[in-house]
Amino acid sequence: MSSQSNLAKVRCHHNLCRLISNLLGNILAKHGGDAMTTQAARKTPFHLLVVMSSSGPSSGELFLDDGVEVEMGAEGGKWTLVKFSAGVGEKSMTITSSVVNGEFASSQNWIIEKITILGLAIAVKMHEFIVETSAGTRNGDVYNIRSRNDEKGGFVVTEISTLKLPIGQNFKIDLHFQGGMKYQNPTK
């Protein structure tokens, strides 16, 4: 049992590297919790994976619907489209969302609980963390941000937890670093 578990970890790490090499500059969204059915999975919070690229901003889209209606994208229908973007500067990083038909996602109480960022050059220390939504602006708790090198030392993993961002609302997250930053290709 333990040998199979170790093998799975090795494969996962190898596949993660392959996935990252194919996804530079992308943002992926997934349900954060385990569930046995699609219906149960829809009740778990979302996690974003932001893979930075030295060639420019990262972006991604998330389309959510009720899984029942045949017509997708009808005005006022049971669907939401979210477009994400992220960019990094010398002393800051910004992650934004732009939401179309957010009423549906809001009615489902879907939230983004955690964001994982790959591709920053060093484990960062946050000076300031600001979240803007239509509900207002708040300072984030820098104690909910962790940066560490991956197991092989090839890239930095930065995680922002306990966000509770409603998917149905536009948001902007500004992360301000102490010291300068540079992008690092996570596949090297």
CA separation for the pair 104, 115 (Å, rounded): 22
Q: pLDDT digit string (tens) for 60-88?
A: 998 888 878 877 777 878 999 999 999 98
Q: pLDDT digit string (tens) for 134-182?
A: 889 988 877 678 777 766 666 678 888 888 999 999 999 998 877 655 4
pTM to 2 decimal places: 0.76
CA 114 to chain centre: 7
- CATH numeric code, 2-177: 2.60.40.1180
The mean-pLDDT minimum among 18-22, 55-59, 85-89, 131-135 falls in 18-22
Q: In terms of DSSP bridges, do strands 46-51 and 111-118 run parallel, antiparallel, or are they unpaired?
A: parallel
CA separation for the pair 129, 145 (Å, rounded): 9
